[in-house]
Structure 1
Amino acid sequence: MVDGGSKWSSTDDMIIVGNDPFQCQKFKQFLHGQFHLKDLGPFKFFLGLEVARNPEGIFLSQRKYALDILTDTGLSGAKPSPFPMSQQHQLGHSTSTPLADPSSYRCLVGRLLYLTITRPDILYVVNILSQYMHSPRLDHHDAAMKVVRYIKNSPGQGLFFPSQNNLQLTGYCDAD
């Protein structure tokens, strides 16, 4: 990770990633010749993404971000949900009360959308919830809170990229 100070802003952060350490270092030297840079070392935390490395591979998660969502929604002490959404939801036909202030719903769904970077397990549900951003109702808000309770089961869940891979693509589908 490189922190490049410029005369227009105090810091501009940049992540340099590659599979050739020599080329990465060469690129950093080029940038250093053009700008004032400070190398912050290996990438560990950036915009809510946490990176853990070991010889087996790289693990990406958003644990702190997920815990912040739990705290901000007041659900830190709530009972976790085993599923992010009920299978037979009727959100499209909701007649519940429209939310007086939809901004909190929009903010929560936006945060959940950002969490899908490392949590593909909630991607479908967040997609459903985002369809009601223009006019959310109480049922939609309750469904979003259920997703947050689902996240409480495993806030540190993320993506693992093994260093040794057989380059075989595997796909999974959860459909009825």
Structure 2
Amino acid sequence: MVKRFEMSMMGEMKFFLGLQVNQFSDGIFLNQSKYILDILKRFGMKNCDTVPTPMVEQAKLKLDLVGKLVDHTDYRSMIGSLMYATSSRPDIMFVTYMCARYQANPNEHHVSSIKGSFVISKGLLI
């Protein structure tokens, strides 16, 4: 490849498309801990307590037009941030996609459910 293209060595890769890259003799490891900390900070959850699971057992999310509605933009931003994080965190995938179903009319219950994914993500960083 060097014969055909001009190339230069820029050192060991540390980040690639938002993923942290750690290269060791026994393998290459990817994580998104910096990204998770950034989204926790963006949504004001940097100092939140951790929980063992991303969603309360047997929690039922449903369309509730009576509950207090929340800002669609913030809710959708939370969903989008977590959808990107699911590439390295399959444990938050179920609750993220369950909450994504209610983007048209999210209420406080949906927001608290999606925040559970942020909290579990933080817990696995510590």
Find the counterpart in structure 1 of residue 89 from structure 2: 119
Number of residue equivalences? 125
**Among candidates 67, 78, 94, match of residue 96 of structure 1:** 67
1:5-84 to 2 correspondences below 5 Å:
26=1, 29-32=3-6, 39-84=9-54
TM-score relative to the length of structure 1:
0.64
TM-aligned CA deviation for residue 126 of structure 1: 1.0
Q: Does 1:135 align with 2:105?
A: yes
Give the TM-score of the pair, scaled to structure 2.
Answer: 0.87
SS of 1:92's equivalent? coil
- Report what 1:161 is aligned to: none
**Structure 2 CA distance, aligned partners of 1:130 and 1:76?**
22
Following TM superposition, the consecutive aligned residue runs of length 4 or more in structure 1 with deviations greater than 3 angstroms are none
Unaligned runs of 5+ in 2: none
Task: Decide which structure has greater strand share.
Answer: 1
Calculate the aligned-residue CA RMSD, in Å: 1.8
Q: Residue 69 of structure 2 aligns to a residue in which SS?
A: coil
Aligned to 1:113, the other structure's residue is in SS state helix
Provide Cα deviations, 1:92-115, integer angstroms capped at 9, x if missing partner.
25342221x210010011000000
**Higher relative contact order at CA 8 Å, sep ≥6: structure 1 or structure 2?**
2
